C-alpha cells in the first residue's frame, strides 16, 4: 500500500464533521437514555446515611502533668479495623456476622477510621436510615469504651484502695497527734527535770507525727488529682455523633452524569460501527 492509499484510508476533519452531523441524533439519544436510566437507578437503590464521630481516647491521670492514654492511638485504629472487634459490635446489635449478610457487609465496608493529628480518632459509618446509622455508631463507641474500662479498672481500683489506706492512716495519725498534744500539755503544767525531758521527747515525737501527716496529705492530694474527671476519664465521643440530613448514597447527580457519559459512549460506539461499515461497503 503506497502513501496515497494510506492517506485515503485516514479520516479527515471533513469526515469527522460528517460523522457527527449524521449521528448526532443517535449520540444524543444514547446520552439522554443513559441519563434517564442513571437517574432512575438512583431512585431505585436504597439510600444510605452517614454518621461521623470524633473519639477522645480515655486516659489515666498524672498529677501535675498530662495523663497517659489507656491505649495508644495507633493501636486503637488497628483494633477498630480488626474483624473480631467488628464482629463483637455486630453481635451487640443483633446482626449476623456471616460474610453473606447484607447488613454486616454494609457495616464492614463503610466503617472508616482515621487518626487525626491531635490524636483524636475520626470514625465514619453508613446505614440504611438516620436512626440505624446512629445506633450502629453508638455501638462502636460503646464497645471501644467497654474495652478501655476493663483495661483501666485495675489501676483505678488500686488508686482507690491506696486512697482508703491513706485516709485510714491519716485518721490514726491525727488521733495519735491529739493524744501526744494532750500529754504534752499535761507535762507542761508541772515542769520538773523529769517532766522537761519527757516533754521534749513528746514534742519531738509530735513533730515527727506532723511530718508523717503532711506526707499523707500530699499523697492524698496527688491521688485526688489523678482521679479527678479532668485527669482520668473514659473513652467517649468528643461532642456528639453527627448524622447526615440527606442520604449520601446514591447521589442523583452522580448517577445521572455517569448515565449520560455511558449512554453517549455507547452512542458513539454504535455510530462508529455504522460509519466504518458504510465506508467498507463504499
Q: What is the pLDDT of residue 6?
A: 47
All cell numbers assigned to 227: 482521679
Please provide the size of the chain in residues.
282
For every residue of 141-210, DSSP letters joined together read HHHHHHHHHHHHHHHHHHHHHHHHHHHHHHHHHHHHHHHHHHHHHHHHHS--HHHHHHHHHHHHHHHHHH
Percentage of the chain exceeding pLDDT 70: 77
Compare 277 and 162 and report the one with higher pLDDT: 162
Compare 255 and 221 and report the one with higher pLDDT: 221
Q: What is the pLDDT of residue 275?
A: 66
Residue 272 has pLDDT above 50, yes or no: yes
All cell numbers assigned to 204: 519531738
Residue 184 contacts by C-beta under 8 Å, 6 or more apart in sequence?
Answer: 199, 202, 203, 206
Are residues 49 and 248 in contact, defined by beta-carbon separation less than 8 angstroms?
yes
Q: What is the pLDDT of residue 176?
A: 66
Q: What is the pLDDT of residue 187?
A: 55
Return d(Cα 257, Cα 76) in angstroms, integer. Answer: 39
Shortest CA distance to 237 belongs to which of 131, 112, 134, 141?
141
Per residue in 129-145, pLDDT (tens digit) is: 999 999 999 999 999 99
Q: What is the pLDDT of residue 259?
A: 79
Q: What is the pLDDT of residue 265?
A: 86
- pTM here is 0.72
pLDDT class of 279 with cuts at 50, 70, 90: low
Are residues 121 and 128 in contact, defined by beta-carbon separation less than 8 angstroms?
no
Compare 62 and 18 and report the one with higher pLDDT: 62
Q: What is the pLDDT of residue 197?
A: 59
Shortest CA distance to 140 belongs to which of 186, 231, 77?
77
Per residue in 21-32, pLDDT (tens digit) is: 777 787 788 778
- Torsion on CA atoms 136, 142, 148, 150, rounded to nearest 10: -130
Mean of per-residue pLDDT scores for the chain: 82
Q: What is the pLDDT of residue 34?
A: 81
pLDDT class of 268 with cuts at 50, 70, 90: confident
Amino acid at each position: 500500500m503506497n502513501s496515497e492509499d494510506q492517506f485515503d484510508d485516514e479520516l479527515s476533519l471533513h469526515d469527522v464533521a460528517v460523522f457527527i452531523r449524521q449521528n448526532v441524533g443517535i449520540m444524543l439519544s444514547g446520552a439522554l437514555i443513559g441519563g434517564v436510566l442513571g437517574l432512575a437507578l438512583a431512585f431505585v437503590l436504597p439510600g444510605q446515611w452517614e454518621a461521623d464521630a470524633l473519639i477522645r481516647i480515655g486516659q489515666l491521670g498524672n498529677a501535675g502533668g498530662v495523663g497517659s492514654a489507656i491505649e495508644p492511638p495507633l493501636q486503637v485504629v488497628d483494633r477498630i479495623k480488626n474483624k473480631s472487634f467488628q464482629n463483637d459490635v455486630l453481635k451487640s446489635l443483633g446482626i449476623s456476622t456471616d460474610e453473606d449478610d447484607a447488613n454486616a457487609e454494609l457495616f464492614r465496608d463503610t466503617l472508616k477510621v482515621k487518626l487525626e493529628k491531635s490524636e483524636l480518632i475520626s470514625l465514619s459509618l453508613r446505614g440504611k436510615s438516620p436512626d440505624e446509622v446512629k445506633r450502629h455508631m453508638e455501638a462502636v463507641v460503646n464497645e471501644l469504651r467497654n474495652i478501655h474500662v476493663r483495661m483501666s479498672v485495675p489501676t483505678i481500683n488500686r488508686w482507690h484502695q491506696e486512697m482508703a489506706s491513706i485516709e485510714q492512716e491519716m485518721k490514726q495519725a491525727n488521733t495519735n497527734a491529739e493524744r501526744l498534744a494532750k500529754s504534752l500539755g499535761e507535762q507542761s503544767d508541772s515542769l520538773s527535770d523529769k517532766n522537761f525531758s519527757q516533754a521534749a521527747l513528746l514534742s519531738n515525737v509530735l513533730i515527727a507525727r506532723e511530718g508523717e501527716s503532711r506526707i499523707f496529705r500530699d499523697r492524698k492530694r496527688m491521688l485526688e488529682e489523678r482521679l479527678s474527671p479532668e485527669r482520668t476519664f473514659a473513652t467517649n465521643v468528643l461532642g456528639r455523633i453527627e448524622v447526615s440530613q440527606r442520604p449520601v448514597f446514591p447521589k442523583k447527580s452522580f448517577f445521572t452524569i455517569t448515565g449520560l457519559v455511558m449512554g453517549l459512549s455507547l452512542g458513539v460506539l454504535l455510530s462508529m460501527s455504522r460509519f466504518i461499515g458504510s465506508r467498507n461497503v463504499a
